[in-house]
Structure 1
Amino acid sequence: MNAKIIKVGTRQSQLALTQSGQVIKQLEKLCQQHGLPYTFEIHKIVTKGDQILDVTLSKVGGKGLFVKEIEQALLDGVIDMAIHSMKDMPYELPAGLTIGAVPKRLTPQDCLVLKQGASFEDLPQGAKVGTSSLRRSSQLKHARPDLDLQWIRGNIDSRLRKLETEGFDAIVLAAAGLTRMGWEERISALLPVELCVPAVGQGALGVQCRDNDNEVTKLLALLNDEESALAVAAERSFLGTLQGGCQVPIGAHATIVEQSAAGAVLELTGIVGSPDGNTLLKEIRRSTDPVQLGRGVAEHLLSNGARNILEDVQKAGL
C-alpha cells in the first residue's frame, strides 16, 4: 500500500518548526502502532505576526495574528492539518475547521530568565524586565510596582540575546517554549501561578484540520490527550466569554483536581488586570463541565469590574 502524504502547516520560526517536528514524530509512532499508511510533509507559512516585529502584539490586533494565513491554507486544501501554539488561537474558529487534537500539555507557567539571581524576589528595585505581553506586565506590576516593564518582541532566541545586549535584568517567557527548544537550563525561575496566571492555552499545542476530513480527524483522535483538552477547553471558554485577545490583560489556568462520578473535576483560575497593574481581579471555581466553568468564571469577573477594565483598554487602544 502506498503511503498517503499528509501536508502539515506551521509557522517558520525555530520554535514552531521544532514543536511541529515533535508532533509529527508522535503521529508517525501512532501510525506504526495502528498500521496507518501516512507520511508527513511540513509546509512553512509566513503569518502577519511573523512580519510585524517593531510594535507590540496588542497594537496590531492580538489573537489570530499567527494563525489566519495557516487557516486559509487549510480551507484552500493546500495543507491537511496545522500545528499551532494554543495560546495564539482565537476562540472563534473559521467555519469548516476544528481542533482535532490537543497533545499532552507541557507546563503552562511563565518563567524568568534572569541576568543574576534565581528568583522573582532577587530582582533589584526598579529592575528592567522585558515582556511582549500585557497580561504578564499587568500581573508583575501588581506584585512589584517598582519594576520597569519594557516591551520586547522577536523569537525566543532573539529575546534571549536582547537580555544580554539591551540592558534587561530579566525577560519573561513561556517555560514550555524553552523546554521544547531543549533550553531548560536558561530558565532561572518558574513564576508561580499565584503570582502570574498564564495565557489561555499556554504550554499546549492545537492540531487543526478540516472538520469534514474523516481520515485526518480519526488520526488526530489518537493523538488527543483528554486531560489537556479538557483544561484548554475551560480556559478557551473563559476567553470566548470575555471576547479577549492579546490586547487585553487576561489569563486563565485550569487543572484537573479530582475524579468524580460525574467525571473529571476542573479547577479554573481566571484573571483580568488593568494594564498599569493597579487592579487585578481574580476568581477560582470548580466544575466537571469545562465550557460552563469558563463561562461562569468570566461572567463573575465581568459583573465585578472586568467589563469596565476591558472597555477602558479597548478605548485606549493599548
Structure 2
Amino acid sequence: MLLDIQNLTLGLPGAARPLLADVSLRVGSGETVGLVGESGSGKSTTAKSVLRLLPDQASVAGRVLVDGTDVLSLSGAGLRRHRAGTVAMVHQDPRSALNPVRRVGDFLVERLVRTGGAGVRREARDKAVGLLGAVGLSDPERRFNQRPHEMSGGMLQRVVIAGALAAEPRLLLADESTSALDVTTQAEILALLRTLREQRGLGMLFITHDLQLAAAFCDRVYVMYAGRVLEQQDADRLFGHARHPYTRGLLACSPELGDLDRVLEPIPGRPPSLSDAFTGCPFAARCPHADAECALWTPEPVAVPGGGTAACRRLAELPGESTAPPLTTVPAKRSPA
C-alpha cells in the first residue's frame, strides 16, 4: 500500500476536541481516493500529515506510512528526501506557490535543482520546458519566460502541477486543486491529472467539497466530519448506496445540474468547532436519527454491504438505501472532460 494512515490522532493545546481522531485511510499505487466533507472536517490537515506539515505544539499519535516508512518518525535529511521526492502537494490557489516577480521557468528550475541536486543544473532548463509541455501548455519555451500575471489561473495550475511532478513523486496530494477554476478549465485539469496518473502510476489523494466531482473522478471516497472518518466506500456504491446519515445529508443538499424539480434539503445546524466538546458521535447534534445514546458513545466503523465501512451505532436500524437520488455523474471511471 502506497499510503497507509493508521489511527492518526492530532491534538492542539487548548482545544476541546482533537483536530483529528483515529483517522485511518489508504491509497494504493495508481488509485485516486477522494476525501470529502464540510469545511473544518480535517481533510487538509490529514493531507498535510503525509508531509508532516503539522503544528509544532501538536500532540500526535498513530502512524502515517508511505511505502512502509512512518513519516512521523522522519527528521532531518530523511524528511527532506521524503518531501522532495516521494510525495508532492498541489494546493487550491496556484498564485500562492509562485513568486510574482520571477519567471515561472525559474520556479521549475529551482525545484529541479533542489530535488535533483547540483548535477542537474545544466539540464534543468530543458527539463523544465519539457515539464511545461507534459502538462499541456502550448509553446512551452515561451511560457518558461512568462511571469504569473501573464498567465491564466488554469495555466498557472498546470505550472504548479509541473513543479509537483519535477521529482517524479509516487503520491500526489491534490487539495481543492480545481475549485478556484471555471468549469471548462476544471475539466481540463482533471483530464490532465487522470492522464498523469495513468502514465506515471501515481497514487492520488483528492480533496474536494464537490460530491459530483468525487463521484466522477475517484475510485474510493472517505467522508470526514469533525476530524473523524464516518464512512468509506467505492465511489460507484457510495453515491448510490450511502449508509451514514451524514453522507446522506451531503447528498440530499447537493445540487444536480438540469434537475430543476429537485428540492435541496440542507443539514440543520453547523459543524462543531475546536472549542465544542462532545463525547459521543460527532454528528449526533445534527442527525435526524440520533437518540440519547448517540451523544454518549463514540461509534466504531462497521462493515457495510458491498465493502467499505460506516461509523453509526444505529446503522442496522436505518433504511438500506439512501433517500437521496444517486448522482448522475456516476460511473466514476469515465473521464470528467
TM-score w.r.t. length of structure 1: 0.27
Q: Which one has the largest radius of gyration?
A: 2
